[in-house]
Amino acid sequence: RTLNEGQNEYIQAVEEFLPTIAAYLEQNPQVEANNLLDLLLEPERIIQFRVPWQDDQGKWQVNRGYRVQYNSAIGPYKGGLRFHPTVNLSIMKFLAFEQIFKNSLTGLPIGGGKGGSDFDPKGKSDAEIMRFCQSFMTELQKYIGADTDVPAGDIGVGHREIGYLYGQYKRLNQFSAGVLTGKPVDMWGSLARTEATGYGLVYFVKHLLADRGDSFAGKKVVISGSGNVAIYAIQKAQALGATVLACSDSSGYIYDPEGLDLAIIKDLKEVKRARISSYVDERPNATFFEGQSIWSIATKYDIALPCATQNEINAELAKTMIANGVFLIAEGANMPSDLAAIELYREQGILFGPAKAANAGGVAVSALEMSQNSQRLPWTFEEVDAKLDAIMKNIYENCRDTADKYGAAGDLVTGANIAGFAKVANNMLAQGLV
Ligand code: NDP
């Protein structure tokens, strides 16, 4: 559609999606008869706004804010806020589009949305971050609410930012704990939300492996990124007996032949907000590869978990990964593999867990946070963690069984897309296509 010209990431996400639901469309002619796909591809609402804020020198700065309220067929819009200089409408729309089906797969009543800003939190003081968040929420609060649209964190938006955003929402409105998720635990947040996306990803892979009589024990794993998703994926993979050899940030990657020391990474990233290169100061046997993609690493390993950002793996890097012995790739980040890379995984018979399914644990626990906020009762870590594991098992089995049913056995991309889409389509048709 010409309306989307130049929105490359969005077009990519749609092009990945549409061919995989062909078998479903054939068996369900009511979808095309009602022109449902055209409706689906048009977001219900897009909000774009100016975010003015003052830096520490008293100079006014301006950024652009977005909220894409893409589809509310199965519940209030739900999806994170991303603060990163690369944010634009295309990225917001691709993320919101994928979020619709991911949220549907969780089995919980949440629609799809996404938001954020081209603001770069890197190198900003706490006070600058606070002023930016307050200005961002001053505008965003007009459009969100616990029963209408519930944002959470994403790249560049962690507890600190959610705290400031929540504080500003509260100043401008009545108390409403459920308007944001990913809140700090003593601020109406849920235990295990911080860990949820990374843990959920590893649970998804655990169930995929278990289906083949296999497990994480003794496996060598490489995980990109060193943010929220990567850190807790590393933690859970290690807990299940894997050795995680490498991780990264946007400056390069570290390789530790003895296995990563997660305590050092957590201290660097969660406390000091430092670069990953500092890891080698404390681990002399480790090496830092400046400016290089982690997927160009030359070492043998079994499982790759991309947890940084979109399009980090192209066909060339995918070839290197497969040559290194990788037999399973599961996506913690959103759309980290480009279309050519996914095609190669298919050709080479790589076990592949697509983002929509494999990283749904974060939003699933966000929905559990909404439940706890409504109940005014916090659940224990163990309770939330057990529910997360059960949800990821259910998502995996649903994708597997749906792929089988539509003649694409073993293709979890097809399984995830059809299973996620069917529920949304049924709801849209039942509601008169709204
Ligand atoms: P964080 O901001 O906590 O961490 C992001 C990590 O990825 C950092 O290590 C960052 O490095 C790296 N990174 C970001 N952009 C780039 C880039 N352009 N090139 C190389 N490295 C990059 O974000 P999250 O861990 O929360 O998110 C990571 C991915 O997971 C995203 O795709 C997000 O959409 C997805 N996701 C997150 C969920 C969540 O609950 N947080 C839920 C589901 C999906 P640096 O610090 O140098 O920028």
* Domain CATH for 265: 3.40.50.720
Q: Has residue 125 been placed in a domain?
A: yes
- Best residue among 155, 270, 331 to mutate for probing ligand 1, ranked by most atoms within 8 Å of CB: 155
**Exposure of 21 by Cβ count < 10 A (0-12 exposed, 13-18 middle, 19+ buried)?**
buried
> Do 71 and 151 belong to one domain?
yes
Q: Has residue 342 been placed in a domain?
A: yes
Total number of domains constituting the chain: 2
Residue that terminates a domain, selected from 137, 168, 190 = 190
- How far apart CA 407 and CA 300 sit, in angstroms, is 33
Q: Has residue 34 been placed in a domain?
A: no
Q: Has residue 262 been placed in a domain?
A: yes
Task: Extract the tokens encoding 200.
Answer: 């959920």
Q: Which residue has the CA at smallest separation from atom 28 of ligand 1?
A: 308
> Do 272 and 255 belong to one domain?
yes
**pLDDT by residue, tens only, the chain of 434 residues:** 567 889 999 999 999 999 999 999 999 999 999 999 999 999 999 999 999 999 999 999 999 999 999 999 999 999 999 999 999 999 999 999 999 999 999 999 999 999 999 999 999 999 999 999 999 999 999 999 999 999 999 999 999 999 999 999 999 998 899 999 999 999 999 999 999 999 999 999 999 999 999 999 999 999 999 999 999 999 999 999 999 999 999 999 999 999 999 999 999 999 999 999 999 999 999 999 999 999 999 999 999 999 999 999 999 999 999 999 999 999 999 999 999 999 999 999 999 999 999 999 999 999 999 999 999 999 999 999 999 999 999 999 999 999 999 999 999 999 999 999 999 999 999 999 76
Q: Has residue 30 been placed in a domain?
A: no
Task: Extract the tokens encoding 293.
Answer: 């993609």
What type of residue sits at position 161?
Answer: E
Distance 82 CA to ligand 1 centre (A): 9
> Do 64 and 162 belong to one domain?
yes
Q: Which residues are catalytic?
A: 114
- How far apart CA 327 and CA 302 sit, in angstroms, is 6
Which residue shows structure tokens 């003052």? 54
> Do 75 and 135 belong to one domain?
yes
Kindly report the CATH number assigned to the domain that includes residue 55. Answer: 3.40.50.10860
Task: Extract the tokens encoding 167.
Answer: 């504080």
Distance 261 CA to ligand 1 centre (A): 20
DSSP one-letter string for 102-155: HHHHTTSS-EEEEEEES---TT--HHHHHHHHHHHHHHHTTT-BTTTEEEE-BT
> Do 80 and 135 belong to one domain?
yes
- List, in sequence order, every beta strand (DSSP E) within 258-411: 287-290, 303-305, 328-330, 351-353
Please give all residues whose beta carbon lies within 6 A of any atom in ligand 1, as ranges.
Answer: 153-156, 197, 225-230, 249-251, 307-309, 332-334, 359, 362
> Do 204 and 222 belong to one domain?
yes
> Do 72 and 154 belong to one domain?
yes
> Do 250 and 150 belong to one domain?
no
Give 127-130 contacts, CB < 8 A, sequence gap 24+.
Answer: 127/56, 128/53, 128/55, 128/56, 129/160, 129/161, 129/164, 130/164
Which residue shows structure tokens 């850190």? 231
- Tell me if 203 sits within 8 A of 236, measured CB to CB: yes
Q: Which residue has the CA at smallest separation from atom 35 of ligand 1?
A: 333
- Tell me if 346 sits within 8 A of 315, measured CB to CB: no
The number of the ligand 1 atom at minimal distance from the alpha carbon of 152 is 40
Residue that terminates a domain, selected from 307, 337, 353 = 353
Distance 226 CA to ligand 1 centre (A): 8
Sign of CA dihedral 309, 16, 222, 262: positive
> Do 201 and 216 belong to one domain?
yes
Q: Has residue 365 been placed in a domain?
A: no
The number of the ligand 1 atom at minimal distance from the alpha carbon of 309 is 32
Displacement of CA 73 from its chain's centroid (Å):
21
User: Which residues does residue 67 pair with via DSSP β-bridges, in sequence order?
Assistant: 47, 115
Sign of CA dihedral 90, 95, 97, 98: positive
The number of the ligand 1 atom at minimal distance from the alpha carbon of 336 is 32
Q: Has residue 260 been placed in a domain?
A: yes
Residue that terminates a domain, selected from 138, 155, 190 = 190
Helix axes 339-348, 8-17, angle to 10 degrees: 30
- Best residue among 78, 100, 229 to mutate for probing ligand 1, ranked by most atoms within 8 Å of CB: 229
Distance 235 CA to ligand 1 centre (A): 16
Query: Which residue segment(s) compose the domain that 311 sits in?
Result: 194-353
- How far apart CA 385 and CA 238 sit, in angstroms, is 17
Q: Has residue 127 been placed in a domain?
A: yes
State if pTM tops 0.95.
Answer: yes
Distance 434 CA to ligand 1 centre (A): 33
Buried b (16+ CB within 10 A) or exposed e, 379-407: beeeebbebbbebbeebbebbbebbeebe
> Do 180 and 220 belong to one domain?
no
> Do 172 and 234 belong to one domain?
no
> Do 267 and 339 belong to one domain?
yes
